[in-house]
């Protein structure tokens, strides 16, 4: 996944984030109070690897430090019938009285400017069908959804018509969640502090319908510290309030930010797992493991020879200890 680093990020003070909200925002009840905690996916890639390799000396550490931490499941073209897939996942969480975290990653023209995770739906109309079925599978169950990582961070290779097309796809997706998954909290992906500047990201978010969402997600599949993301969120919300009259809650992907960023985005060495999934922290509404530690970003860095999303046990093992 493309997470382009564009220079050092100036420190800025986080501003109050919940002073205003759009009247068109989702009015879903708090899914955290409706459940007994976050759902641990028993079929995650690290859990599956540890179960298949019980004699491996790394298995215990990977199981205890990664597989047993609540984390998101990503859904895309590989998920088969998407309504059944999200329904099964959300249903399993509901049966355990837990809150599932889902990532929708199938937008038409996905990762257009990066390429490591290119693909997605075959057309905007196909995406509309897919995301509607995604939301319908969740139904009335409580859930956290991160919507389309990479989609708003970089428009550098896109024409204005393609930008408008993408924004309209996301606006429609949010409408689908409002009508078909009314108890899901949906967060638009907003990149990270080293990608687009906060003012630009605020405009991208608003144009893509942020007022209809619960909030925005930061640092997905990246490494910036939680405090850096909180400052970035404060700047985004400042721009939103000044220009559009509202601000939004945010969540941070802490799955791989324990050692912060070294300026690289694609399988950099020396990274470490961060704060396990939990409610609140540094002004964020939730700290979430959105990217699974040990899953590759693509054929690059310490994941050379791998494909995006492939689980790499040695990378996962080293990430537990930060080397």
289 in a known ligand binding site? no
B/e letters for 227-251, b = 16+ CB within 10 Å, e = fewer, are bbbbbbbbbbbbbbbeebebbbbbb
Q: Does the annotation count 161 as an active-site position?
A: no
106 is known to lie in a ligand binding site: no
49 annotated binding-site participant = no
74 is in an annotated binding site: yes
Q: 111, 150, 154, 206: which is the annotated catalytic residue?
A: 150
* Other C-beta atoms lying within 10 Å of the C-beta of residue 52: 9
Alpha-carbon separation of residue 66 from 41, 94, 198, 273 (angstroms): 11, 22, 31, 8
Known binding residue 130? Answer is no
Known catalytic membership, residue 150:
yes
Set 154, 253, 282, 297: catalytic member:
297
Distances in Å between the Cα of 146 and the Cα atoms of 102, 103, 221, 278 are: 6, 5, 12, 16
Residues belonging to the binding site are: 74, 195, 222, 265, 291, 295
Residues belonging to the binding site for substrate are: 74, 195, 222, 265, 291, 295
Q: Which residues are catalytic?
A: 150, 297
């Amino acid at each position: 996944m493309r997470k382009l680093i564009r220079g050092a990020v100036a420190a800025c003070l986080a501003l109050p984030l919940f002073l205003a909200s759009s009247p068109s925002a989702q009015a879903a009840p708090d899914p955290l109070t409706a459940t007994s905690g976050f759902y641990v996916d028993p079929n995650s890639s690290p859990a599956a690897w540890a179960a298949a390799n019980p004699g491996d000396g790394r298995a215990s550490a990977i199981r205890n430090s990664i597989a047993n931490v609540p984390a998101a499941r990503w859904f895309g073209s590989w998920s088969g019938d998407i309504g059944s897939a999200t329904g099964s996942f959300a249903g399993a969480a509901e049966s355990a009285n837990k809150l599932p975290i889902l990532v929708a990653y199938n937008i038409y023209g996905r990762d257009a400017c990066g390429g490591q995770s290119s693909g997605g739906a075959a057309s905007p109309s196909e995406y509309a069908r897919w995301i509607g079925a995604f939301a319908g599978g969740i139904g009335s169950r409580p859930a956290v959804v991160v919507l389309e990582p990479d989609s708003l961070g970089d428009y550098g290779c896109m024409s204005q018509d393609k930008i408008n097309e993408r924004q309209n796809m996301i606006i429609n997706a949010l409408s689908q969640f409002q009508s078909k998954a009314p108890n899901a909290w949906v967060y638009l992906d907003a990149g990270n502090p080293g990608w687009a500047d906060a003012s630009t990201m605020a405009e991208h978010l608003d144009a893509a319908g942020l007022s209809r969402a619960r909030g925005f997600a930061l640092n997905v599949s990246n490494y910036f510290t939680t405090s850096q993301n909180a400052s970035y969120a404060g700047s985004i919300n400042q721009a939103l309030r000044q220009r559009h009259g509202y601000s939004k809650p945010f969540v941070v992907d802490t799955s791989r930010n324990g050692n912060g960023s070294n300026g690289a985005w694609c399988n950099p060495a020396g990274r470490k797992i961060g704060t396990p999934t939990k409610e609140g922290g540094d002004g964020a509404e939730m700290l979430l493991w959105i990217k699974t530690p040990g899953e590759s970003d693509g054929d690059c860095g310490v994941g050379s020879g791998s494909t995006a999303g492939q689980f790499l046990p040695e990378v996962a093992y080293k990430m537990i200890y930060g080397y």
